[in-house]
Amino acid sequence: MIRSAGLVALWAVVAAAAVLAGLWAVGGVGSGITSAGPRPLTAAEVDARLSAEPAPSPVAPVSDAPGSAAVVSAAPGGTVVASCPGPQIVSVSPAQGWESKNEREDGGPRVTFESTVDDSEVRVDVRCDGAVPVGDVRVERD
């Protein structure tokens, strides 16, 4: 009888310890998942960060060999990869929040990036300087 009471007491202690360990583990995991984290930006903070855009960078030729391709940064609208002779547009990658369209102007190909958020527009006119593609980038805001 005493032995049975001892086993029941031991079982109760082990069960309580297991429940406490489980609660401690779930609490530790839950605090990492449900913690506040970084606070969302206000509309004014988003506008301030978007207005501090980097200036368009010059063409970065991939190589100087004839028929080479170059990446033209059309910041903030995206990037254009062009090649010579031609010039030819190899690919266009609009940045998030921008759409692109390819056009053919008298001076050569043009890529226009239009913002889906505001009335901003970035135009990239592509021409060849020898065997190296060059992009003339203009940023317009209404």
Domain membership of residue 94 (yes or no) is: yes
119 occurs within a structural domain: yes
pLDDT per residue over 62-118, tens digit each?
444 555 677 877 778 888 888 888 788 888 889 888 888 888 877 788 888 888 888
Q: Which domain holds residue 120?
A: 55-140
| Assigned domain for 42 exists | no
- Token pair of 125 as six digits: 């006119």
Neighbours of 24 (CB within 10 A): 10
Q: Please check the confidence at residue 131 and state whether its pLDDT lies above 70.
A: yes
Phi, psi (deg, nearest 5) at residue 119: -95, 30
Residue 31 region, left (φ>0) first, then alpha (ψ -120 to 50), else beta? alpha
**Domain assignment of residue 46, yes or no:** no
Q: Determine, yes or no, domain membership for 67.
A: yes
Distance (Å, whole) CA 41 – CA 30: 25
Name the H helices within the chain: 2-33, 43-51
Residue type, 117: V
pLDDT, position 30: 58
DSSP label of 37: -
Q: Report if residue 100 sits inside a domain.
A: yes
Domain assignment of residue 2, yes or no? no
Q: Which residue has the higher pLDDT, 59 or 122?
A: 122
Number of domains in the chain: 1
Are the C-beta atoms of 87 and 109 separated by less than 8 Å? yes
